[in-house]
C-alpha cells in the first residue's frame, strides 16, 4: 500500500513537472504571460526609414492579434531593439534577445545585409527566423534551415521587366541600357539577372557601375548615366540614392524611355516628397504588394495603418506589409502546432502553406517563398499601378487597374 | 570622355561650394578655440530641418529663410559654448571637446528623431529642379546659388575677421590665446561669438545640403568625416582655405569617379589629405600656430 502511494505520488509529481520540450512554453500550460517577440530593427543609420516602416508593420500586426484574442490565448509583446543598421550590432542584439531576454519568438530585421548577419546567431540557438526583408540570394546559400523569408525572392525581381523589354519588336525595343547599383547583396543580384536577359536581346550596356553603399555624393554616377544617354536605366538603389539620381536627371533634362529601381519608388509618400509629385510619372519598381490587392486581411491592415498613422493607402511603404506578413505567417505556424517549440515550429514552416497580406506563402527547402509573385509597379497620376506579364511578356495592368503601361516614360 | 571630364570638374567645383559652407564653421571654431566640433554634421542637418519647417509650414523660401535660421543657430551656438564648452578645463580641452560635442550631437539627433522620425526629407523650390543650359552643360540653379552663397558668406566672414574689432580679437585669439588675454581681450566673449558664428554659418550650409540631398536625423554621420578632411586640408582656422580645399577634394573625387571608378572616389577624397599633409603639414593655407602654454 505504501509502495503504491509512493508510486502514485511519484506519478503525480512527474505529471506536474512535465511541460514542453525544447524552446519555451506550450499551449498546454495555463501560462497567461505575454508571448515575448524579439526584434532588431534599424531605427537609426542608413536603413532607418525602412526600419521605421517595418516597426509599423510589426506593431500593426501585434495590435491586430491582441485585439483578436492573442496567440495561443496569450497577448504578444514586441521587444524591439535598435541595430543602427549595423551588421555587428544586429548579431549582438539577437544574441541578447535570445540568451538574456529569453524571448519566445524572434522576427527578422530589415535588409539582406542584416538578415545574413543575424541568421547565423539565431540558428545557433535553434530559433525559427521568419523575416520579410532578407531576400538576397546569399541569405539562402549557407545551408541554414531556420530562415524563412515571407516576401518575394529578390533575385528575380527585375525579370518581368527585362523580359518585357527583350520581347519588344525590334523597331520599338531599346538599343542601350545603363546600370548602376549599390554594392549590396539585395540590389546587385537583381541587376545581374536583368542584364543577363537584356544583353542577349541586343540591348547594349553603355554604362555599368557599382558604387559603395556609403556613397554620399551621387553626382558622378548620375552624370555617368546621363552621359551614356542610355535608352533605359536600371538602378539598384534604396530611397536616398534613387531620389538623388532622379533629381539629377530632372536637373540635366535627361529622359530615359524607362527607369526602374530595385527599391525607393515603393516608399509611398516619402518617395513623392523626395522627388516631387510631378516627377514620379512612369517610374517603375518591382514588388509583390499593392494597396488594392485582394489578399486576406489587406484592407484591414490598411484601415488600421491609416487610423494609426494617417495619410492614404498610397502613402504606405511596401515595408509595412512585409513586416505584417512576418507576424501573420509566424502566428499561423504557431497555431498549427499549438506550441512555441522552436524545433516543431521550424518543421511546420518547412511544410505548411500560409496566407498573408502579400499573398500566399510556401517555403522551399532553403526558406524562400516559392508562392510569391513579382509585379512591376509604375507610378501614374500619383499612384502605384501593378502590372504583370501576359503570355507574350507584355506587361498588362492587374485588375481592377486598366491603364496601359507608360512606355516611353513621360518627360519630366 | 572629354565632356564627362569637364562635367566632373564643374560638378566638383559647385559641390565643393556646398561643402565649404558646411565646413566653414568647423574650421573657424577649431582655429580660434581648438575645439573639434563633432556636432558639426548634425548641426548641418539641423539647419536643413529648420529650413524645411519654414518652407513646409510657413511657405518661406529656403534662401529667404536664412534670415531667420542663421540668427537662430547663432544663438544656439552661443548657448552650446556657454553650457558645455566653456566649462572644459584647459588641460585636455581639445580631446575632451570631442566627447562633449559628440554628446551634444547625440542629443540633437535624438530630438530631431523625436520630432521628425527617420523619414527622409528634402527641400523643394523651383530652382532646385531646374538648370542653366550653357555651352552644352546643364548647371543646376541650386548649385550655382549655393556656390554664390558660399562665396558671399565666406567673403563676409573675411571682412568681419579682418575689418572689425571683434574680428581682430578673434584672430588674436587664433594666434596666441594667452597673449590675447593678456592684452585685455575677453576670451570667453570671443569664444562665444566665434562658436555662434561657426554654427550660424552652418545654417546656410544646412539649407543647401537639404536642397541637394535627402536627409534624416542620421545624415550627420556621413558628413562629419568629410568636413574634418576639408578643414584639415584647408588649414585649421583658414576660412578661405576651407573653400579651396572643398573644391579641390570634390573635383578630385568626381574626376576619379568618372575616369576610374566610383568605388575609388571616396578613397581618393581622403587620400588627397594624406598627400597634401606630407608636403604641407599645416594644410594648404594653415599657419604654424603659436600657442601660449
Q: What grid cell was written down for B219?
A: 545624415
Residue B112: closest C-alpha in chain A: A44
Confidence of residue B203 (pLDDT cuts 50, 70, 90): very high
Is residue A17 assigned to a domain?
Answer: no
A52/B117 Cβ within 8 A: yes
Residue A88: pLDDT over 50: yes
Residues A166 and A277 in one domain: yes
A·B CB contacts under 8 A:
109
**CA angle, residues A186, A192, A196, in degrees to nearest 5:** 150
Shortest Cα–Cα distance, B171 to chain A (Å): 34
Alpha carbon distance A199, A323 (integer Å): 36
Alpha carbon distance A295, B119 (integer Å): 28
The separation between the first and the last C-alpha atoms of chain B, rounded to the nearest angstrom, is: 54
Residues A242 and A320 in one domain: no
Look up residue A314 and give its DSSP letter. G
A404-410 — which CB contacts under 8 Å span 24+ positions?
A: A405/A376, A405/A378, A406/A281, A406/A282, A406/A378, A406/A380, A407/A257, A407/A258, A408/A255, A408/A257, A408/A258, A408/A282, A409/A255, A409/A256, A409/A257, A409/A258, A409/A259, A409/A281, A409/A282, A409/A283, A410/A281, A410/A282
Backbone angles phi, psi at B93, to 5 degrees: -60, -45
Q: Which residues of B touch A48 (CB under 8 A)?
A: 118, 216-218
Q: What is the DSSP string of A54-114?
A: HHHHHHHHHHHHHHTT-BTTB-EEEEEEE-TT-HHHHHHHHHHHHHTS--SEEE--SSHHH
A227/B226 Cβ within 8 A: no
Residue with cell 559647385: B14
Residues A263 and A160 in one domain: yes
Higher pLDDT, B106 or B263: B106
Alpha carbon distance A239, A244 (integer Å): 9
pLDDT tens-digit readout, A332-384: 999 999 999 999 999 999 999 999 999 999 999 999 999 988 899 999 998 88
Is residue A402 assigned to a domain?
Answer: no
- Supply the pLDDT for residue A13: 42
Chain A contact for B41 (CB, 8 A cutoff)? no
Alpha carbon distance A383, A266 (integer Å): 10
Assess: ipTM above 0.85.
no
Residues A252 and A391 in one domain: yes
A223/B258 Cβ within 8 A: yes
Strand partners, A386: A377
The separation between the first and the last C-alpha atoms of chain A, rounded to the nearest angstrom, is: 94
Q: Which residues of B touch A223 (CB under 8 A)?
A: 4, 7-8, 11, 254, 258
Higher pLDDT, A3 or A324: A324
Q: Give Cβ neighbours of residue B283 (< 8 Å, ≥ 6 apart).
A: B232, B233, B234, B235, B236, B238, B241, B245, B276, B277
Chain B contact for A208 (CB, 8 A cutoff)? no
Chain B contact for A206 (CB, 8 A cutoff)? no
Mutation test of the interface with chain A: which of B9, B110, B262, B269, choosing the one with the most A Cβ atoms within 10 A?
B262
How many CA atoms are closer than 13 Å to the CA of B278, on its beta-carbon side? 5
Higher pLDDT, A197 or A215: A197
Residues A270 and A393 in one domain: yes
From the list A52, A216, A223, the residue facing B118 with the nearest CB is A52
**Coil/strand/helix, residue A215:** coil
Is residue A7 assigned to a domain?
Answer: no
A44/B217 Cβ within 8 A: yes
From the list B7, B214, B218, the residue facing A243 with the nearest CB is B214
As for how many domains chain A has, the answer is 2
Q: Give Cβ neighbours of residue B195 (< 8 Å, ≥ 6 apart).
A: B29, B33, B35, B77, B78, B80, B81, B85
Look up residue A288 and give its DSSP letter. S
Which pairing describes strands A129-131 and A147-149: parallel, antiparallel, or unpaired?
A: parallel
A216/B223 Cβ within 8 A: yes
Is residue A128 assigned to a domain?
Answer: yes
Residue B172: pLDDT over 90: no
Chain A contact for B23 (CB, 8 A cutoff)? no
Residue A249: closest C-alpha in chain B: B129
Chain A contact for B9 (CB, 8 A cutoff)? no
Residues A127 and A57 in one domain: yes
Is residue A137 assigned to a domain?
Answer: yes
Alpha carbon distance A127, A339 (integer Å): 13
Residues A357 and A277 in one domain: no
Residues A169 and A242 in one domain: yes
Mutation test of the interface with chain B: which of A220, A223, A279, choosing the one with the most B Cβ atoms within 10 A?
A220
- Supply the pLDDT for residue B138: 83
Backbone angles phi, psi at A389, to 5 degrees: -75, 145
- Supply the pLDDT for residue A186: 87
Is residue A12 assigned to a domain?
Answer: no
Shortest Cα–Cα distance, A301 to chain B (Å): 21
Is residue A369 assigned to a domain?
Answer: no
Q: What grid cell was written down for A159?
A: 525579370
Residue A30: pLDDT over 60: yes
- Supply the pLDDT for residue B287: 63
Question: In this predicted structure, which of A299-303, B8-12, B236-240 has the lowest mean pLDDT?
Answer: B236-240
Q: What grid cell was written down for B77?
A: 551656438
Question: What part of A 272-311 touches B (C-beta under 8 Å)?
Answer: 273-274, 276, 279
Q: Mind listing the domains of chain B with CATH numbers?
A: 2-279 (1.10.3470)
Residues A206 and A317 in one domain: no
Most confident of A58-72, A262-276, A307-321: A58-72
Q: Give Cβ neighbours of residue A243 (< 8 Å, ≥ 6 apart).
A: A264, A271, A274, A275, B120, B122, B214
Is residue A15 assigned to a domain?
Answer: no
Q: Alpha carbon of A197 to those of A161, A225, A317: distances in Å? A: 10, 20, 29
Residues A140 and A229 in one domain: no
B265/A253 Cβ within 8 A: no
Q: Which residues of B touch A247 (CB under 8 A)?
A: 128-129, 212
Q: What grid cell was written down for A362?
A: 510556401
Which pairing describes strands A76-82 and A35-41: parallel, antiparallel, or unpaired?
A: parallel
Chain B contact for A250 (CB, 8 A cutoff)? yes
B218/A45 Cβ within 8 A: yes
Look up residue B132 and give its DSSP letter. E
B133/A48 Cβ within 8 A: no
Residues A232 and A101 in one domain: no
A214/B222 Cβ within 8 A: yes
- Supply the pLDDT for residue A14: 42
CA torsion, points B203, B205, B209, B212, in degrees to nearest 10? 120
A217/B129 Cβ within 8 A: no
Residues A66 and A146 in one domain: yes
For the domain that residue A388 is a member of, what is the CATH number? 3.40.50.2300
Q: What is the pTM of this model?
A: 0.80
Residue range(s) defining the domain that contains residue A344? 35-152+295-362
From the list B4, B15, B118, the residue facing A43 with the nearest CB is B118
Amino acid at each position: 500500500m505504501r509502495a503504491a502511494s509512493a508510486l502514485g505520488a511519484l506519478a503525480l509529481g512527474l505529471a506536474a513537472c512535465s511541460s514542453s520540450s525544447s524552446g519555451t512554453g506550450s499551449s498546454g500550460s495555463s501560462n497567461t504571460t505575454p508571448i515575448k517577440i524579439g526584434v532588431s530593427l534599424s531605427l537609426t543609420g542608413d536603413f532607418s526609414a525602412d526600419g521605421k516602416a517595418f516597426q509599423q508593420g510589426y506593431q500593426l500586426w501585434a495590435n491586430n492579434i491582441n485585439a483578436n484574442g492573442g496567440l495561443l490565448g496569450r497577448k504578444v509583446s514586441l521587444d524591439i531593439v535598435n541595430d543602427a543598421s549595423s551588421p555587428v550590432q544586429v548579431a549582438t542584439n539577437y544574441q541578447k534577445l535570445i540568451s538574456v531576454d529569453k524571448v519566445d519568438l524572434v522576427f527578422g530585421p530589415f535588409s539582406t545585409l542584416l538578415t545574413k548577419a543575424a541568421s547565423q546567431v539565431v540558428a545557433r540557438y535553434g530559433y525559427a527566423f521568419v523575416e520579410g526583408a532578407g531576400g538576397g540570394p546569399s541569405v539562402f546559400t549557407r545551408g541554414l534551415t531556420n530562415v524563412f523569408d515571407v516576401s518575394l525572392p529578390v533575385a528575380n525581381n527585375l525579370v518581368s521587366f527585362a523580359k518585357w523589354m527583350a520581347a519588344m519588336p525590334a523597331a520599338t525595343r531599346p538599343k542601350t541600357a545603363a546600370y548602376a547599383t549599390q554594392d549590396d547583396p539585395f540590389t546587385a543580384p537583381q541587376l545581374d539577372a536583368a542584364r543577363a536577359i537584356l544583353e542577349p536581346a541586343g540591348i547594349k550596356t553603355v554604362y555599368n557601375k557599382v558604387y559603395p553603399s556609403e556613397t554620399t555624393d551621387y553626382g558622378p554616377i548620375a552624370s555617368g548615366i546621363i552621359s551614356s544617354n542610355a535608352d533605359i536605366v536600371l538602378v539598384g538603389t534604396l530611397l536616398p540614392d534613387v531620389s538623388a539620381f532622379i533629381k539629377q536627371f530632372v536637373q540635366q533634362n535627361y529622359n530615359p524611355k524607362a527607369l526602374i529601381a530595385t527599391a525607393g519608388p515603393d516608399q509611398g509618400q516619402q518617395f513623392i516628397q523626395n522627388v516631387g509629385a510631378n516627377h514620379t510619372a512612369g517610374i517603375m519598381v518591382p514588388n509583390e504588394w499593392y494597396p488594392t490587392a485582394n489578399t486576406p486581411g489587406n484592407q484591414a491592415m490598411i484601415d488600421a495603418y491609416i487610423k494609426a498613422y494617417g495619410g492614404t493607402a498610397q502613402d504606405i511603404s511596401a515595408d509595412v506589409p512585409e513586416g505584417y506578413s512576418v507576424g501573420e505567417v509566424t502566428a499561423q505556424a504557431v497555431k498549427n502546432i499549438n506550441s512555441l517549440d522552436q524545433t516543431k515550429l521550424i518543421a511546420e514552416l518547412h511544410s505548411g502553406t500560409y496566407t498573408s497580406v502579400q499573398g500566399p506563402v510556401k517555403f522551399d527547402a532553403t526558406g524562400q517563398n516559392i508562392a510569391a509573385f513579382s509585379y512591376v509597379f509604375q507610378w501614374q497620376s500619383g499612384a502605384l499601378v501593378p502590372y504583370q506579364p501576359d503570355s507574350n511578356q507584355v506587361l498588362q495592368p492587374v485588375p481592377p487597374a486598366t491603364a496601359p503601361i507608360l512606355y516611353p516614360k513621360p518627360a519630366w | 570622355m572629354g565632356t564627362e571630364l569637364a562635367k566632373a570638374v564643374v560638378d566638383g567645383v559647385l559641390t565643393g561650394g556646398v561643402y565649404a559652407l558646411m565646413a566653414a564653421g568647423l574650421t573657424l571654431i577649431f582655429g580660434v578655440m581648438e575645439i573639434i566640433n563633432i556636432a558639426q554634421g548634425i548641426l548641418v542637418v539641423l539647419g536643413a530641418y529648420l529650413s524645411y519647417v519654414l518652407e513646409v509650414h510657413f511657405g518661406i523660401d529656403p534662401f529667404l529663410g536664412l534670415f531667420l535660421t542663421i540668427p537662430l543657430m547663432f544663438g544656439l551656438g552661443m548657448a552650446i559654448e556657454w553650457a558645455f564648452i566653456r566649462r572644459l578645463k584647459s588641460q585636455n580641452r581639445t580631446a575632451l571637446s570631442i566627447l562633449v560635442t559628440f554628446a551634444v550631437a547625440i542629443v540633437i539627433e535624438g530630438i530631431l528623431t523625436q520630432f521628425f522620425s527617420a523619414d527622409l526629407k528634402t527641400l523643394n523650390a523651383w530652382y532646385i529642379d531646374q538648370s542653366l543650359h550653357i555651352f552644352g552643360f546643364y548647371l543646376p540653379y541650386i548649385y550655382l546659388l549655393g556656390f554664390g552663397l558660399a562665396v558671399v558668406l565666406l567673403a563676409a566672414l573675411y571682412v568681419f575677421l579682418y575689418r572689425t574689432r571683434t574680428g581682430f580679437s578673434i584672430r588674436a585669439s587664433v594666434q596666441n590665446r594667452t597673449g590675447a588675454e593678456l592684452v585685455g581681450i575677453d576670451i570667453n566673449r570671443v569664444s562665444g561669438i566665434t562658436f555662434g558664428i561657426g554654427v550660424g554659418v552652418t545654417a546656410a550650409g544646412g539649407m543647401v545640403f537639404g536642397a541637394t540631398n535627402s536627409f534624416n536625423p542620421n545624415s550627420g554621420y556621413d558628413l562629419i568625416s568629410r568636413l574634418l578632411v576639408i578643414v584639415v586640408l584647408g588649414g585649421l582656422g583658414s576660412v578661405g582655405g576651407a573653400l579651396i580645399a572643398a573644391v579641390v577634394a570634390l573635383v578630385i573625387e568626381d574626376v576619379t569617379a568618372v575616369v576610374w571608378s566610383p568605388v575609388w572616389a571616396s578613397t581618393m577624397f581622403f587620400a588627397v589629405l594624406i598627400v597634401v599633409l606630407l608636403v604641407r603639414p599645416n594644410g594648404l593655407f594653415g599657419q604654424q600656430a603659436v600657442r601660449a602654454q
